[in-house]
Amino acid sequence: MKVRDVMPQRELASCGPETSLQQVARLMVEHDCGAIPVMERAGSRRAVGIVTDRDIVCRTVAMNRNPLELKAADVMSNPIASVRASDSLNACCEKMEAAQVRRILVVDDSGNCCGIVAQADIALRAPGQEAVEVVKSVSSPNPLGL
């Protein structure tokens, strides 16, 4: 099974580094997702980071920073973990486990972002044991606290 087999086939919402956090949160609501890739500039498909709902909470609210005054670049996670759409699902799971991430960016052969695979996508579409292992490993406590 390949990454492309579990990756949702829907339009990928994205933002730029200067996008306000309020707009990033609005994109999450509009697209029913918990992560928005940050592209290097408008019209680009080269990801430079990712903002998750957890990033917003842990890097703003928990740190007593006003999210209405911040931009995507202020809270995005980087470097970002990514896999190719043509990679094996096993390689994807291993990379997610090693990086302890619940979502991973998917890039095409040119390195352009073309999607996201989440833990839930693997749980819904992957063979049983593979799904169990990635959920178990990724869900263990993160030593960095994020």
pLDDT digits (tens, 9 = 90+) for 120-146: 899 888 776 555 565 555 555 554 444
CA distance 47 to 38: 5
CATH pick for 3-138 out of 1.20.950.20, 3.30.420.10, 3.30.365.10, 3.10.580.10? 3.10.580.10
Phi and psi for 95 in degrees, rounded to 5? -70, -40
CA distance 39 to 17: 7
For the segment 1-5, the average pLDDT, to the nearest whole number, is: 92
Q: What is the pLDDT of residues 17-74, one digit of tens each?
A: 999 999 999 999 999 999 999 999 877 899 999 999 999 999 999 999 999 999 999 9
pTM of the predicted model as reported, rounded to 2 decimal places: 0.83
Q: Where are the domains of the chain?
A: 3-138
